[in-house]
C-alpha cells in the first residue's frame, strides 16, 4: 500500500510544486512507483511535467465529481492517469478545479472524496505525492484527509512563519477530526541563502518554535530550479549536477528514512 504525502503551505510561492515534482522524480529514479496528484487549480504540477492542461479531456476535477456521485471506477482513474516518459505517473489538474468547492458544498462526506479515489489505486504505487493549493478550502482538507504525512515547504522569510503556523493548526484539526493517522513529515526550507541575516534568523526561529528534528534538509537558492519547470523537467532531468539537484537528493533520502511505516 502506498505512502501518501501531501505538500501544502498557506502562502503561495513557497516552492511547493517545484518540491512536489523533484521529490516525485527523485523517488521514481530509485525504482519506486510514484503517483503525483495535481490538486491545485493553477495546474503547475501538470505544466511542470510537460503537459498542457487545456488539451486534456479529463483531470482530477472529473474524478472527484465521479467520487461524489459514487460512480468512480478504476477504469476512469486509469483513463486520467498520464504515463509519458517520466519516472512518475500523474493525475493532472485544470482550472475548473477552482469551482469544485461550491459545486460539492451539499455533498455528504465531501472531505473524504480524494481518500476514496486513492483507495482504488494505492496498491499500484509505493508513494503518492499530492500538490495542494495555497488555501485552506475543501481541496486542501481532502488532501490532508487522504494522506499519511504532511510536508510543509517554506521560504526563510518572516511572512512564511505565519503560513507555517496556520498549516500546523490545520494539521492538528484534521488529525483530531478527520484523519488521526496524519503526521508531520517535516518542514522543508527552500530557496535558501544562509549568507543573509534574515534567512539565518528565520531558520533559528523555526528551529526554536517547531524543533530541529522537524526540519528536512534545506534546499539552497538555485536559478536552475526555477528554470526546469518551464521545460517540463525536474531538476534531475534538467541539471542533475547542480546544487539544487544535490539538495533535493538529500531531501528524498530523508523522506525515505522518515516515512518508513512503523
How much is the pLDDT for 262? 45
How much is the pLDDT for 12? 66
**Of 36, 42, 12, residue with least CA distance to 22:** 36
The mean pLDDT of the chain is 94
Burial class (CB in 10 A: 0-12, 13-18, 19+), 222: buried
Q: What is the pLDDT of residues 63-82, one digit of tens each?
A: 999 999 999 999 999 999 99
Ranking 1-15, 83-97, 129-143 by mean pLDDT, the lowest is: 1-15
How much is the pLDDT for 123? 96
Sign, CA dihedral 110-111-113-114, equals: positive
Q: What is the pLDDT of residues 243-254, one digit of tens each?
A: 999 999 999 999
How much is the pLDDT for 13? 66
If you average pLDDT over residues 230-249, what whole number do you get? Answer: 97
* Distances in whole angstroms, Cα of residue 51 to Cα of each of 17, 93, 156, 165, 238: 14, 10, 31, 33, 16
**For residues 44-78, b (16+ Cβ closer than 10 Å) or e, as one string?**
bbbbbbbbebeebebbbbbbbbbbbeeebeeebbe
Ranking 26-30, 41-45, 90-94, 198-202 by mean pLDDT, the lowest is: 198-202
Q: Which residue do the cell numbers 526550507 mark? A: 189
Q: What domains sit in the chain, N to C, each tagged with a CATH number?
A: 3-258 (3.40.50.300)
Q: Report the distance separating Cα 39 and Cα 125, nearest Å.
A: 18
Q: What is the pLDDT of residues 117-130, one digit of tens each?
A: 999 999 999 999 99
How much is the pLDDT for 178? 96
- Whether the CB-CB separation of 168 and 206 falls below 8 Å is answered with no
Helices and strands (H, E) in the chain, number of each type: 12, 6
If you average pLDDT over residues 220-249, what whole number do you get? Answer: 96
Amino acid at each position: 500500500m502506498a505512502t501518501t504525502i501531501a505538500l501544502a503551505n498557506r502562502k503561495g510561492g513557497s516552492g511547493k510544486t517545484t518540491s512536489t515534482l523533484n521529490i516525485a522524480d527523485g523517488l521514481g529514479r530509485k525504482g519506486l512507483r510514484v503517483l503525483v496528484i495535481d490538486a491545485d487549480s493553477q495546474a503547475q504540477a501538470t505544466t511542470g511535467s510537460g503537459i498542457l492542461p487545456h488539451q486534456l479531456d479529463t483531470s482530477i476535477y472529473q474524478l472527484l465529481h465521479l467520487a461524489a456521485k459514487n460512480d468512480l471506477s478504476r477504469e476512469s482513474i486509469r483513463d486520467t492517469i498520464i504515463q509519458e516518459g517520466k519516472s512518475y505517473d500523474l493525475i493532472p489538474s485544470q482550472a475548473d478545479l477552482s469551482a469544485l468547492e461550491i459545486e460539492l458544498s451539499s455533498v455528504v462526506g465531501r472531505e473524504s472524496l480524494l481518500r476514496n479515489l486513492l483507495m482504488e489505486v494505492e496498491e499500484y504505487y509505493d508513494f503518492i505525492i499530492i500538490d495542494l493549493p495555497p488555501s485552506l478550502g475543501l481541496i486542501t482538507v481532502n488532501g490532508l484527509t487522504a494522506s499519511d504525512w504532511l510536508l510543509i515547504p517554506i521560504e526563510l522569510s518572516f511572512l512564511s512563519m505565519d503560513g507555517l503556523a496556520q498549516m500546523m493548526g490545520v494539521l492538528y484539526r484534521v488529525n483530531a477530526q478527520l484523519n488521526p493517522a496524519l503526521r508531520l513529515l517535516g518542514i522543508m526550507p527552500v530557496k535558501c541563502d544562509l549568507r543573509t541575516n534574515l534567512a539565518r534568523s528565520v531558520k533559528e526561529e523555526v528551529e526554536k518554535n517547531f524543533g530541529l528534528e522537524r526540519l528536512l534538509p534545506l534546499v539552497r537558492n538555485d536559478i536552475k530550479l526555477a528554470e526546469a519547470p518551464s521545460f517540463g523537467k525536474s531538476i534531475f532531468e534538467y541539471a542533475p549536477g547542480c546544487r539544487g539537484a544535490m539538495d533535493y537528493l538529500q531531501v528524498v533520502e530523508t523522506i525515505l528514512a522518515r516515512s518508513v511505516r512503523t
